[in-house]
Structure 1
Amino acid sequence: MRIVVIGTGGVGGYFGARLTEAGENVTFVARGAHLEAIKSRGLTVYSALGDMHLKDVQCTENTRDIGHADIVMIAVKLWATDEAIQTAKPLLGKNTGIISFQNGILAEESLIAAYSSQHAMGGVANIAALIEEPGVIRHNGNMASLAFGELNNTQSERAQSLLTACSRANIKAEIPDDINRAIWEKYIRLVTMSAMTTLCRMPIGPIRDEVHTRNLLSQILAEIIDVGKAKGLKFSDNVLQEQLDIIDGYPPSMVASMCGDLRRGYPLEVPWFSGTIVRLGKELNIPTPANGFVYAALKLFEHGRPIEAQI
């Protein structure tokens, strides 16, 4: 397959490298020092599932030089979604699928608005990985999986071809029965993990072990589920406990990437996480006080660390 990865960070860098190593025709879109390092030294991935060092990687900043792709994987931070959508424009052929593997629940709407449902697909990436230094991706833990599919949940040749490519690359991947529900189920955990580890500046282990922080975690989780149900999502009857069980199974040292963004002084995705839940709650008349608290507490760091910050 001809695959283009827009955003060569933890998600795009890891899964794109696995696909490249397996022989797929992958081009990475990157910029700045990361791009220059990949061009000069290749792309290195450190992972408990197997390290990789790929030389002569196809990597560029200009998508006009690439041609049409079979699949475009968007893996940028949420605030860069609009730019990534424009970056993808020269890559579109008649049957090109564009899949957002970003965090959140709004990217698919943006893809449909820009390119119609003919091209837009849904995706979920489950992994803890980051750029350790230019040209180097660090995968933390053993979790690394993808889910993707057509937004109307029909079977398609392009989704099946990507699934086959993932199998060749030893990537755990699936086409779920309902990709929209899969996106929301990840979002439930993502917003909760991002809220609690960023707010507490702590990994999930101590947070879930302390009764007060665990209660706040559960309340955040429950509010997101209530909003999802009001949006028409069909969750299982035990969805709250199921999601708590998944979080309880995470390594105690696990933190959300937003916690690392706060520590490094980077912009936060909180408007797309708790901020979106608060907005949807107002629209749907669903109370979201816990998510409102998180959004207010982190709002001043939305655009990066303010000069007045005491951390």
Structure 2
Amino acid sequence: MKIAVMGAGAIGSYFGGRLVAAGEEVHFIGRGSPHLQAMGEKGLKIISHHGDAFIEKIHIATDPKAVGPVDMILFCVKLWDLDKAAEQIKPMLKADTAVYSFQNGIYAEGRLAELLGPQHVIGGYAATPVTVVEPGVIRQFGEWCTLGFGELDNRRTPRIENFLAVCQRAKIDSLIEKDVLAALWMKFIFITTHSGATSFCRSTEGPIRSDLWGRQMLVGLASEGTAIARAKGINIAASNAEHVLEQIDELPVEAQGSMYTDLQRGNRLELEWLNGLMVKLGEETGVPTPCHRAVMMALNLHAVGNGR
């Protein structure tokens, strides 16, 4: 497959790098960041529990037009850049090109369908903690490292089957989800709990889940999100909050949400599309969201980053 990674940060570099190592043609597209430049000049080094790797030859670009039509786009930009990036990737679209958003939350798929046409959008998630250690070097943490995806109407199409085969050749833990909407919501609830709590508490996950009050925060965030999903008719179990806590307990002690990483670096936060969206949906469904509101109260002041 010919694959483009739009927004070559940590998560896109990890999965894209694994695909390159398996022999796929992958083009990494970014704004010319130090990380992108280092990959083009020196290659990409992956440090991972699932095996280290060094990929010497990396195709990089700053303009999607230079890449041309592709079979799959891994869409990895921050949520506030979605509209602009969607316009930029149009030269890479052909009739059956799939756009697979790695973005957090449940907003991206619907918006991409509006901007690009629903025929191009598949649903899915990318689940693993990854960070850029230095330009050209990324580190993946823990055992949980999964891609789950599928057509928005849950059909088993050739492009979905082909991409699954590609991922399996690359030894990426991957699956075609039976209910993509439910899978997206489960990831949304997890990320708003994980990122919300680590950002709110200014802590990695280990100390939070081990603390009496910190654990209550985790339970509250996960329970509110689960109640909202069920109120909207999403097919997830009433025990989903317990499942979220089980996932968090399996994370490395040093794991932290991407929003907390952005907070530490003074970057803009995806708060509006994560915990902020939970508060909005809670109002629409009549589900109280005191924990998500607390996260909003604590973080909204920092939502635009130091660049305000």
TM bin, normalised by shorter chain, reads over 0.9
CA distance in 2, matches of 1:146, 1:225: 22
Q: Which residue of 2 aligns with 1:274?
A: 275
Counterpart position of 1:73: 74
* Alignment partner, residue 106 of structure 1: 107
- Structure-2 residue corresponding to 1:31: 31
Partner of 1:255: 256
Tell me, in whole angstroms, the C-alpha distance in 1 between the residues paired with 2:266 and 2:208.
22
Aligned equivalents of 2:254, 2:132: Cα separation in 1: 18
Deviation at 1:17, TM superposition (A): 0.4
**Cα distance between partner residues in 2 of 1:205 and 1:37:** 32
Contact 1:35-1:59 within 8 A present in 2 as well = yes
Q: For residues 104-154 of structure 1, what are the alpha-carbon distances to aligned partners after superposition, in whole Å with 9 as ceiling and x for unaligned? A: 110001111012221111111111112222222221223211001100101
Greater alpha carbon shift after TM alignment, 46-55 vs 99-108 = 46-55
Query: Aligned partners of 1:76, 1:306: CA distance in 2, in Å?
Result: 18
CA distance in 2 between counterparts of 1:88 and 1:9 reads 17
Q: Distance in 1 between matches of 2:54 and 2:122?
A: 30
**Shift of the alpha carbon at 1:26?**
0.8
Q: State the shift of 1:193 in Å.
A: 0.7
3-state SS of the aligned residue for 1:143? coil
Q: Deviations over 1:48-100 (max 9, x none)?
A: 22222222311101111111111111012222212221121111101111110
* 1:164-213 Cα shifts (integer Å, max 9, x gaps): 00011000000010111111111111101111111111111221122112
Hey, what's the Cα distance between the residues in 2 that align with 1:31 and 1:145? 27
* Identical counterparts, % of pairs: 38
Q: 1:215 deviation in Å?
A: 1.3
> Which deviates more, 251-260 or 117-126?
251-260
How far does residue 30 in structure 1 lie from its aligned partner after superposition? 1.7
Which portions of structure 1, spanning 4 or more consecutive aligned residues, are displaced by more than 6 angstroms? Answer: none
Contact 1:10 1:128 in 2 (8 A): no
Q: Distance in 1 between matches of 2:210 and 2:95?
A: 52
Corresponding residue pairs, total: 307
Q: d(CA) in 2 for partners of 1:121 and 1:232? A: 21
Equivalence map 1:227-242=2 (5 Å): 227-242=228-243
CA distance in structure 1 between the aligned counterparts of 2:9 and 2:307, rounded to whole angstroms: 24
Q: TM-score w.r.t. structure 2 length?
A: 0.96
1:76/1:102 contact within 8 Å kept: yes
Question: What's the secondary structure of 1:190's corresponding residue?
Answer: helix
Partner of 1:64: 65
Q: C-alpha displacement at 1:306, in angstroms? A: 7.2
Partner of 2:145, secondary structure, is strand
Partner-residue secondary structure (3-state), 1:278: helix
Cα distance between partner residues in 2 of 1:237 and 1:258: 27
2:21 paired with 1:21: yes
Q: 1:27 is aligned with what amino acid?
A: H
Taking structure 1 as the reference length, what is the TM-score of the superposition? Answer: 0.95
Distance in 2, matches of 1:208 and 1:46, equals: 26
Q: Does 23-32 or 131-140 show the bigger shift?
A: 131-140
SS in 1 for 2:141: strand
- Give 1:77-226 correspondences, 5 Å limit: 77-226=78-227
Distance 1:156 1:137, change over 3 A: same
Q: Could you list the runs of 5+ residues in structure 2 that have no partner in the other structure?
A: none
CA RMSD of aligned residues (A): 1.4
Give 3-state SS (helix, strand or coil) of 2:253's partner.
coil
